[in-house]
Amino acid sequence: MPPSESHPVRRIAHLDMDAFYASVELLRYPQLKGLPVVIGGSWRSEDEVLVRAAEAGTRDRIPLEEFPRIRDYVGRGVITTATYAARQFGVGSAMGIMKAARLCPDAIMLPVDFDEYRTYSRLFKEQILAIAPLMENRGVDEVYIDLTDVPGGQEEGGRVLSAQLQQAILDATGLTCSIGVAPNKLLAKMASEFNKPNGISIVHEADLETMIWPLACRKINGIGPRTDEKLKGLDIHTIRDLAARDLTWLMEHFGKSYGAWLHAAAHGRDDRPVETSSEPVSMSRETTFGSDLHAVRDRAELGAVFTRLCEQVAADLARKGYVGKTIGIKIRYDDFRSVTRDHTVDFYTADARTIRQLAGQCLKRVPLDQRIRLLGVRVGGLEKADQVSEAPALYAAGRRAVSRSGEVAGLNLSLF
DNA sequence: TCTGGGGTCCTAGGACCC
DNA sequence: TCTGGGGTCCTAGGACCC
């Protein structure tokens, strides 16, 4: 039956901004167009060139030779993104900076400017909402949109509306995006990759075998590197291979829940709704040190970083209006093993000193005889601050946390 | 000279309660 | 003396995503 006004077919779009960070940077530094540019790392002295130009309003006139280069970068970290010209050298996102510097030492390296990307993120999402109000945020540069009941959403399977969205975003931001439209989020996500950049791809239910099944399993959003390796070990390489296995066999090898999901995904089934709002579950701050630290020898530095992380999490909670009752820490050792410890108390807090105290208790429960490369602090079990009736400190009093709150009041700041 | 930072969800065992 | 289940919460680790 053909789609009609009275019988709309479910049409879900996945919209993905093209090389988002790099494209935003090129708006500010048009002279870098076509050059190998890499974005990543933390702020460094070379970047003062950029800061001074920003203050003087002359960013678009910085001579090429004055831009910071990746070969001069000191320290560790990863590339957040790379322009197409940089990718020609084999440089890609999530690659270590040192490795990228070996592959393309002359690449221009810009610091990550999240504030600027967030500004553009708001801009393009406003354009979408004005056209199609059922939008789900998937981070700074991606959204799902339910086109089913949007006027014109059924035309050409969603192509007409997609073109309209692209034009509105281009007019407002100067940026391009790629859109995939399909019967559900799973297929829409895959479809948006078919025709990059600035493309539109329409997938219908009947296209499953021709457009989806030839793809590698890894293309399914939810199959990561570990599962992909395991699948390959079982001689399953394409989605067609996966779809050929039966449900019980997959559940035996991958567990009841994940096995059933794999089976459904391979057959293009996904009934998750487009979620227009969500509540955060946890907030955290973590940092990787310039060089690995030792719990005893670098105790002072570790303690200072630890306190700063707690203060940052507390500030994040306060700014967004949340409190939490599960306080935790994360440590990554020099061999990249990670451990976490957490502790749930019977009161809610967003107080830096309380978080510092409870996180300090967690830290005491983890082995500290090995060098540490990362330290993190997390607060979970979140509630809206105005939904929690008892004042945290009052609520704590007279409960199990009496001695603890006493310590908090006394500010026991010794680290280990 | 490997491997960021901020998240979500799932699993599995144990505690605890009914 | 032996023997239940179900449900929820907590903790630690891990896979995955942007």
CA–CA separation, A15 and A154 (whole Å) = 17
Rounded distance in angstroms from the CA atom of residue A19 to the C1' atom of nucleotide C5: 54
Q: Residue A390: is it exposed, middle or buried by C-beta count within 10 angstroms (0-12/13-18/19+)?
A: exposed
Rounded distance in angstroms from the CA atom of residue A91 to the C1' atom of nucleotide C11: 39
CATH code linked to domain A217-266: 1.10.150.20
The answer to whether A80 and A40 are in contact (CB under 8 A) is: yes
* A413: confidence class by pLDDT, cuts 50, 70, 90: very low
Residues facing residue A341 across a β-bridge: A329
Smallest Cα–C1' distance to nucleotide B2: which residue has it?
A96
pLDDT at position A50, please? 93
Assess whether pLDDT exceeds 50 at residue A416. no
DSSP designation for A26: H
Rounded distance in angstroms from the CA atom of residue A335 to the C1' atom of nucleotide B18: 46
Assess whether pLDDT exceeds 90 at residue A197. yes
Range name among A56-60, A173-177, A394-398 with the lowest pLDDT average: A394-398
CA–CA separation, A281 and A258 (whole Å) = 22
Strand order of the β-sheet with A79-82 is A79-82, A37-40, A108-110
The answer to whether A82 and A38 are in contact (CB under 8 A) is: yes
* A410: confidence class by pLDDT, cuts 50, 70, 90: very low
pLDDT tens-digit profile of A148-168? 999 999 999 999 999 999 999
CA A332 to chain CA centroid, nearest Å: 20
pLDDT at position A75, please? 79
Which uninterrupted H or E stretch holds A344? strand A338-349
CA–CA separation, A200 and A193 (whole Å) = 9
The answer to whether A64 and A131 are in contact (CB under 8 A) is: no
> Is A230 or A394 the better-scoring residue by pLDDT?
A230
Residue for token digits 């197409």? A84
CA–CA separation, A145 and A11 (whole Å) = 9
CA–CA separation, A309 and A305 (whole Å) = 6
pLDDT tens-digit profile of A395-406? 443 333 333 333
pLDDT tens-digit profile of A58-107? 999 999 999 999 999 887 889 999 998 999 999 988 899 999 999 999 99
DSSP designation for A381: S
Assess whether pLDDT exceeds 70 at residue A415. no
Q: Is the CB of A383 under 7 A from strand C?
A: no
pLDDT at position A318, please? 98
Q: Do A12-17+116-209 and A20-114 fold alike per CATH?
A: no
CA torsion through residues A77, A80, A84, A87, sign: positive
Range name among A170-184, A287-301, A371-385, A398-412 with the lowest pLDDT average: A398-412
Rounded distance in angstroms from the CA atom of residue A129 to the C1' atom of nucleotide C14: 36
CA–CA separation, A25 and A33 (whole Å) = 10
pLDDT at position A41, please? 83
CATH code linked to domain A20-114: 3.40.1170.60
Per the structure, the residues numbered 86 to 125 in protein chain A that have their CB within 7 angstroms of any atom of strand C are none
Length of chain A: 416
pLDDT tens-digit profile of A309-327? 999 999 999 999 999 999 9
Q: Write out which nucleotides of chain C lie closer than 7 A to a protein Cβ.
A: 9-18
The catalytic residue positions of A are 142
Tell me the three-class secondary structure of A110-166, residue by residue. ECCCHHHHHHHHHHHHHHHHHHCCCEEECCCCEEEEECCCCCCCCHHHHHHHHHHHH
pLDDT at position A393, please? 47
Rounded distance in angstroms from the CA atom of residue A257 to the C1' atom of nucleotide B10: 9
pLDDT at position A3, please? 56
Nearest CA-CA partner of A334 in A284, A301, A285, A295: A295
Q: Say what percent of chain A tops pLDDT 90.
A: 86
pLDDT at position A77, please? 86
Q: What is the mean pLDDT of residues A178-205?
A: 97
Query: In sequence order, which residues have a C-beta less than 8 Å from that of residue A167 and are 6 or more positions away?
Result: none
The answer to whether A41 and A11 are in contact (CB under 8 A) is: no
Using the CA of A139, give the nucleotide whose C1' is nearest. C18
Per the structure, the residues numbered 205 to 264 in protein chain A that have their CB within 7 angstroms of any atom of strand C are 220-228
Q: What is the mean pLDDT of residues A212-222?
A: 98
Architecture of the domain defined by A282-413: 2-Layer Sandwich (3.30)
Assess whether pLDDT exceeds 90 at residue A188. yes
Using the CA of A189, give the nucleotide whose C1' is nearest. C17
Query: In sequence order, which residues have a C-beta less than 8 Å from that of residue A32 and are 6 or more positions away?
Result: A25, A26, A64, A67, A83, A108
Quick one: chain A helix, strand, coil %, rounded to 5?
A: 45, 20, 35
Listed by range, residues with Cβ under 7 angstroms from strand B are A 76-78, 80, 94, 96-99, 101-102, 255-258, 280-288, 312, 316, 335-336, 373-374, 376
Which uninterrupted H or E stretch holds A8? none
CA–CA separation, A217 and A243 (whole Å) = 10
Architecture of the domain defined by A12-17+116-209: 2-Layer Sandwich (3.30)
* A6: confidence class by pLDDT, cuts 50, 70, 90: low
The answer to whether A274 and A149 are in contact (CB under 8 A) is: no
For the CA atoms of A221, A226, A230, A231, the dihedral, rounded to the nearest 10 degrees, stands at: 20
List the domain boundaries for chain A: 12-17+116-209, 20-114, 217-266, 282-413
> Considering the entire predicted model, what is its pTM?
0.91
pLDDT tens-digit profile of A107-159? 999 999 999 999 999 999 999 999 999 999 999 999 999 999 999 999 999 99
Q: What is the mean pLDDT of residues A14-34?
A: 95
Per the structure, the residues numbered 169 to 198 in protein chain A that have their CB within 7 angstroms of any atom of strand C are 189
Q: What is the mean pLDDT of residues A365-393?
A: 88
